[in-house]
Structure 1
Amino acid sequence: MKTNILPAIKLTLALLVLFVVAYPVLLWGIGQLSNGKGKGAVVVQEGKTYYKNIGQSFKEAKYFWSRPSAVDYNAAGSGASNKGPNEEAYLTTVEQRIADFSQQNPGVSVSDIPVDLVTASGSGLDPHISVAAARVQVARIAQQRNLKEAQLLALIGDHVEQPLLGLLGPEKVNVLMLNLALDRLDSSF
């Protein structure tokens, strides 16, 4: 028994030092080499600070709406609702989101509403929407801001992020960056 306890204690202490000290210090060091010095992708506009890679709520009709969040866009509590597609409460929530979207976008048929505008992502913090989800909101925003739809479509086109390595994932649009550009476009007139 003594022959097993001493090696077990040594192994425990070695792994404790490795995973509690060395690994976090290594990750912190790698973070310091990144653009945001480990603090995330920060964007500052008109004195306000935003985090580019964390989904944010945009509810006003003059903005592109984000993907819904099961955690109310709280980065401290990232997570999904864990509700399945057959659960009544979940279906009621999605139906309400569809009704809300249809009310604010009367020219869009229910079958044309992209799924990412009425369902939350796995993390609840997805900062992106699909290109189709951005385009389906153009008529509402053009009317609210008195802009031409072609201007908004061009703005969306300028903010499309391509799949990783051209293969992995769909084309997407970062909602925060698109809305900040929309505010700059609106203020330039």
Structure 2
Amino acid sequence: MKNYIVIGIKLTLATIVFFAGIYTLFIFGIAQIAPNQGKGIVVESNGKKFYKNIGQSFTDAKYFNSRPSAVGYNAAGSGGSNKGPSNPEYLAEVQKRIDTFLIQNPDIKANEIPADLVTASGSGLDPNISVQGAKVQIKRIAKTRNIEESKLEKLIAENTEKPLLGVFGPEKINVLQLNIGLDKLK
């Protein structure tokens, strides 16, 4: 029994040294070669600074809506809702988002709304939406801003990020970059 306790203590100490020291320094070193030394990608627009890699709240009819956030877009409290897909409270919240989207976008049917526009991501801070999520909002924004739909389609195409190495993940669009581009359209 004493032998197992000694082994357990040694394993605990080795794990603490590895994860609290070596692993942490390794990740810190990688962050130093990342853009902006791992502090996020800062974008300036109209004299304000925004983080491109953290979701922002866009609910104004003249902008592309962002993905909902379970944490109110608070980067200090990243996390999902932890409610399962059969939870009545969660289903009511998603239904409320669907209803709100349909009111804002009357030309769209409920079955045409991409899931990413009515469900929060695991972190609650996803800065991206799907290409389809952007396209279903074109009619509303074109009417609100009095812009041709073709210009919005071109803007979406210009801001579409391809999958990593052409195969890993779906195409996506950073909502902040898309809305900054939208403000620059005349």
Cα distance between partner residues in 1 of 2:84 and 2:57:
23
Unaligned 5+ segments in structure 2 are: none
Q: Does 1:59 align with 2:53?
A: no
Partner of 1:160: 160
For residues 100-179 of structure 1, what are the structure 2 equivalents within 5 Å?
100-179=100-179
Going from structure 1 to structure 2, the CA distance change for 1:48 and 1:12 (only over 3 Å counts) comes to same
Normalized against structure 2, the TM-score is what? 0.89
Using the aligned pairs only, state the percent identity.
Answer: 58
* C-alpha deviation, 1:16, in angstroms: 4.2
Unaligned 5+ segments in structure 1 are: none
Cα distance between partner residues in 1 of 2:89 and 2:15:
45
Quick one: which amino acid aligns to residue 31 of structure 2?
G
Going from structure 1 to structure 2, the CA distance change for 1:9 and 1:159 (only over 3 Å counts) comes to same
Runs of 4+ in 1 over 6 A off after TM superposition: 1-11
Quick one: which amino acid aligns to residue 142 of structure 1?
A
**Worse-matched range after superposition: 63-72 or 1-10:** 1-10
For residues 71-90 of structure 1, what are the structure 2 equivalents within 5 Å?
71-90=71-90
Quick one: which amino acid aligns to residue 165 of structure 1?
L
* C-alpha deviation, 1:31, in angstroms: 1.4
Aligned residues: 186
1:59 alignment partner, SS class: coil
Cα distance between partner residues in 1 of 2:105 and 2:137:
7
Normalized against structure 1, the TM-score is what? 0.88
Cα distance between partner residues in 1 of 2:102 and 2:7:
66
